[in-house]
A and B are shown apart, each in its own frame.
Chain A
Amino acid sequence: MNPFTYSRATAVADAVRDKASHPDSEYLGGGTNLIDLMKENVARPTHLVGLNKLPLADIETLPDGGLRLGALATNADTAWHDEVKSRYPLLNQAILAGASPQLRNAATNGGNLMQRTRCYYFYDLATPCNKREPGSGCSAIGGYNRVCGILGTSESCIATHPSDMCVALAALAPTVRVSGPNGDRTIAFDDFHRLPGNQPEKDNTLEPGELITGLDLPAKGFEKNFSYLKLRDRSSYAFALVSVAAGLELEGNTITDARLALGGVAHKPWRDQEAENMLKGQPATEDTFRRVAAKVVADAKGHGSNDFKIELAKRAIVRALKQAAEGNQHAADVFLNSNP
């Protein structure tokens, strides 16, 4: 691990100022990803700005009926929060589908958005990777790419965003609150993460030095008809091969509003608003879901070892929408995905 200095901020403005005054610095929240990356020499910051004393750990109801998730609230505290469980059970399920209890106890909401890809090549300094070392080439293209993306990839990168929580967030469409050297602003969640294009080293649209302070969830939580379906190589503690977050509003059997986002398939949590529009006004039938699923993967492209994800994504979408329409999903209590 590179030598680095560390300071602990107690106010957001101080944190932003401290970071701006140190080149090659990083914010440190729960550290569940950044510390790993530093140990692997993928990240080599020379200064860390410790965030955990900032007053950003609250979860509070907003005047418009929404819910504000503090950037430093842990994933566990967020998942188990009464308002999240009752009003945003999709978020509860997605968070609990990820990582392990120990990691969720340490990981923060802001940090969850900042997770970096799990592409094998990104982590292995012996291999070229455009995301780690711009211009060095993409080893995953033509290599072992089981975990890589099928949608929105580019010639320079086919990495995926690894988060589960962010897939549910993409469906719930909060705004991301940030503070930076040029003041505060909000970013629509769908605009927060980006596609790789020819700059795969950039995971998101944050400006240099900007800090996530929170997420504002809109009032609508799809708490009656939702599903988070995660498919992976083992039943727990594995990143998604494909995951689907679905939320529906129904009048009778007619879909009046819909949200659909996928994980494990793209450089960002993949929300498909055209697919959502296709669902609206349609009967909640398998036929509808199949047509929508086909549309979502219409432009998907496999890269060899991940070709199966196209078919898997299609089937997962159909299953998730069916589960959402059936409306018998609940916020998880203790165990998740362990029931065969």
Chain B
Amino acid sequence: MSTTNYIGKPTSRVDGPAKVTGTATYAAEYQVANMAYGYVVSSPIAKGKITKIHADEVLALPGVVQVFSHENVPSLAWFDRSYKDLVAPGGSPFRALHDAEIKFSQQPVALIVAENFELARYAASVLRIEYQQEDHETSLETQRAKGYEPGAGKTGFQPPPAPRGNPDKAWEEAPHRMEAEYVHGAQHHNPMELFTTTVEWRGEGKITAYDKTQGVYNVQQYLTKIFGLKKDDCRVVNEYMGGGFGAGLRPQYSAFLAVLAALELKRSVRLTLTREQMFSFGHRPHTLQYLKLAANADGTLAALQHHALHETSQFEDYTENVVNWSGMLYQCENVKLGYQIAKLDMYTPLDMRAPGAASGSIGLEIAMDEMAYAAGLDPLEFRLRNYAERDQNVDKPFSSKKLRDCYHQGAAKFGWDKRTQAPGSMRNGDGKLMGWGVGGGVWDATQQKAAAKASITADGKLTVSTATGENGTGTYTIMSQIAAETLGLPIEAVTFKLGDTDLPESPLQGGSWTAASVGSAVQSTCAALGEKIFKLAQKMDDSPLRDAKFEDVEFASGQLRLRADHSQAVVLRDVLQASGEAKLEADSSVMPNMVKQNGYSLHSHNVVFVEVTVDEDLGTVHVTRVLNAVAAGRILNLKTARSQVLGSVVWGIGMALMEETVMDHKFGRYMNHNFAEYHVPVNADIHDIDVLFVEEEDDIVNPLGVKGIGEVGMLGVAAAVANAVFHATGKRVRDLPVMIDKLL
């Protein structure tokens, strides 16, 4: 048998064949008998009340089964806490069809259920609903003065650290200073797969919900609390996901409505949202940032202030960590960070890939570029002079931090030394203006509690399972790699199962913690199973391992052998067959080692080098070259990890140049709610992207030494693009996205 060392190798996706042959089943593809189809009716107004729903008119249509609205929803859980999911912000969660009140445009106001999808959609289009409209407020600009500091209501939210030093005085006294405001608009996640819930009615109040979600346990908890179901009666499944990006962290109203209909009608129901409705349940908030930096004559930072204000709904305090990163990415003794949110008549924003940090790195990293220019320094050199050896926010060392290596190796590979500082001083081979920019960021390396179970059969087939998610990142693959390597099996002998509340509990798939959390659980569980196999191996006749301790043996290439002497080995399958056991099982649950971690700051870092060309007459920008150097611990799979970072860069380019959901405040409504007008990059926008991993050895973050790479890769990308545009043109765009009109 060839090597069974998989960790770190560029292993192809184990779920690839299923995906490209169409056998991977997504939420909308589960076929169940006697299914009814739902279609959501959305509010055209942003604020007011429903005064009349002419449900009778559509109920008269043959094939329309029911029209659900606030007028006929059954009595459900009463208290807000029942509606709070695991990542709910503080406040009062939205309840679909709860009452006549309209809180945001596109609010679900009715659910049509019919014998087929087309009929449900038609009925929704003719359902007459009368509203009493009230004045709404959706403009963050007009609500600047109403910003407030939110409480710590949401998991993971950390209010900014207390100020240090005297940033105002230091700023006044420093030789080089800058201050500016930075803005970016709202963005929507827009995964390709629409939110869908297929609810299978299993009789007697039991259901299985095939739901697009990044956390089946979160959805199960939400549904059971609201509908008063027993956990055993409410199974939630999501084996594949066509993109999540945070959109699937919270249970969506589609899941609530589909289950409501199934329980009321006592039959299976499928509900799929429309693309337009994908703009109705959360977004990266429109954010205003004010940065005020000063530098000393030697190019060290004298003062740093970063204040952010973003929108939230009237009913929940959505929070994300926007400014905290600015207190730890660079060394600075005089720092003040501020963070506020303001209530608007819209739906609550929602975590979107690198929430907070993606936004905050726009402000910080453009400001750092401006500061570098004001101080007459190369922007990379400026960052090197302000390298943070400790996390000053918490006054702790980093468990590992190879950002300096990222700077040096990235710059060398990109050719940064050929950069000339003056804006407009570089041109490409065709004589077009060319600009090089740099940016970067820092992101949490978190581990959550996770459990897994594993079983191996006499034929040497291993099944490992846990209820984590796979939103296209490579979870199936890296978990199979870890399991295969831990037990020395070929990866083909491993089946990894996920996305099912019948499986051991795993955290939500988000926060870049899946590899660390679930990976640790898989490793631990397989090791526990290995110990059982080892004991059986010792009982074999003439076992060469009879006197060995478990620490003395290793699993490799289908064998169990002495580390010190590979000739002393037994074949794994022989052990299982000799044991007479049809199946061996193990399970375990892994918590982060707080004692070990407590003295350290746990973070991943990156730096992005970007080349743009700009047509100076027409204002068109092309990102011709990107190099993203990432320090995120150990890389489990170079192939899927690289893909993650490639995707992050594409996201960053979109954020920099085109992505923005635009609200018409007259209607309090997003107007470009489709893929024709909400622009994400297409192939023609994407050119060379290079990814460089500077691996870190870190046994403090978690036993696997991984930090997660789903989010760190997009930090600083948008800022680096904007900085490159400045370098090319001398135009400093502080209002992203940088579209044509801003460069004319």
Contacts and interface: CB of A to CB of B under 8 A. Distances in A.
A86 interface: no
B677 interface: yes
Contact of B741 (A1, A3, A308): A308
Interface string B705-731: 000000000000000000000000000
A139 B674 contact: no
Given A1-B121, A124-B669, A312 B619 contact: yes
B227 interface: no
Nearest to A311: B744
Contacts of A121: 671
Contacts of A142: 666
Nearest to B667: A127
A126 B667 contact: yes
B658 A234 contact: yes
Contacts of A253: none
A2 B125 contact: yes
Interface stretch (A17-25, A169-177, A235-243): A235-243
Nearest to B46: A126
A66 to B, nearest CB: 33
A192 interface: no
A319 B618 CA distance: 9
Contacts of A241: 740
A280 interface: no
A118 interface: yes
B685 A312 contact: no
A340 interface: yes
A71 to B, nearest CB: 24
A120 B618 contact: no
Contact of B122 (A2, A126, A231, A318): A2
A126 B682 contact: no
B617 A234 contact: no
B744 A118 contact: no
Contacts of A139: 664, 666-667
Given A126-B667, A139-B667, A312-B619, A1 B684 contact: no
B676 A239 contact: yes
A1 B687 contact: no
Interface string B112-127: 0000001001100100
Nearest to B742: A308
B669 A127 contact: yes
B422 interface: no
Contacts of B121: 1
B671 A238 contact: no
Interface string B661-692: 01110110101111011010111110100000
A124 B668 CA distance: 13
Interface in A115-136: 118, 120-121, 123-127
B620 interface: yes
Contacts of B400: none
Which of A233, A237, A319 has the most chain B CB atoms closer than 10 A to its own CB?
Answer: A233
Contacts of B684: 234-237, 335, 337-338
Nearest to A239: B676
B683 A236 contact: yes
- Which of A126, A142, A338 has the most chain B CB atoms inside 10 A of its CB? A126
Nearest to B617: A315
Kindly name the residue among B672, B684, B744 whose own CB sees the greatest number of chain A CB atoms within 10 A: B684
Interface in A248-305: none
B624 interface: yes
A7 interface: no
Interface string A309-340: 00110011011000000000000000101101
B739 interface: yes
B687 A340 contact: yes
B676 A233 contact: no
A236 B125 contact: no
Contacts of B676: 118, 238-239
B740 A147 contact: no
B669 A143 contact: no
Nearest to B432: A340
Contact of A233 (B432, B669, B739): B739
Nearest to B125: A41
B680 to A, nearest CB: 8
A70 B482 CA distance: 60
Nearest to A147: B677
A308 B740 contact: yes
Contact of A120 (B622, B666, B671, B739): B671
Nearest to B623: A340
B118 A1 contact: yes
Interface string B421-434: 00000000000100
Contacts of A126: 44-45, 105, 667, 669
B190 interface: no
Contacts of A335: 684
A222 B344 CA distance: 55
A236 B667 contact: no
A312 B118 contact: no
Given A118-B676, A120-B672, A231-B740, A143 B685 contact: no
A1 B672 CA distance: 21
Given A233-B740, A337-B684, A144 B671 contact: yes
Contacts of A311: 744
Given A120-B671, A235-B682, A340-B613, A312 B664 contact: no
Contact of B620 (A41, A143, A231, A236): A231
Interface in A54-93: none
Contact of A315 (B658, B667, B669, B744): B744
Contacts of B45: 126
Contacts of B663: 144
A308 B44 CA distance: 30
Interface in B604-658: 613, 617-620, 622, 624, 657-658
A144 B138 CA distance: 14
A119 to B, nearest CB: 10
Contacts of A146: 662
Contact of B671 (A3, A124, A234, A340): A124
Contacts of A338: 683-684
A142 B664 CA distance: 10
Contacts of B619: 312
Contacts of A120: 664, 671-672, 677
Contacts of A3: 122
Given A143-B664, A233-B740, A319-B617, A340 B669 contact: no
A231 B666 contact: no
Contact of B666 (A2, A41, A143, A234): A143
Nearest to A3: B122
Contacts of B687: 340
Contacts of B44: 125-127
A1 B667 CA distance: 25
A113 to B, nearest CB: 19
B685 to A, nearest CB: 5
A154 B686 CA distance: 39
Contact of A144 (B662, B682, B739): B662
A263 to B, nearest CB: 15
Contact of B664 (A2, A144, A239): A144
Contacts of A125: 44
Nearest to B676: A118
A73 to B, nearest CB: 24
A338 B674 CA distance: 23
9 contacts: A1-B118, A124-B669, A143-B666, A234-B679, A235-B682, A235-B685, A312-B744, A315-B618, A340-B687
3 closest A-B pairs by CB: A340-B622, A126-B44, A308-B741
Given A139-B667, A238-B679, A315-B617, 11 more contacts: A1-B118, A1-B121, A120-B671, A120-B672, A139-B664, A142-B666, A143-B667, A236-B682, A237-B682, A311-B744, A312-B741
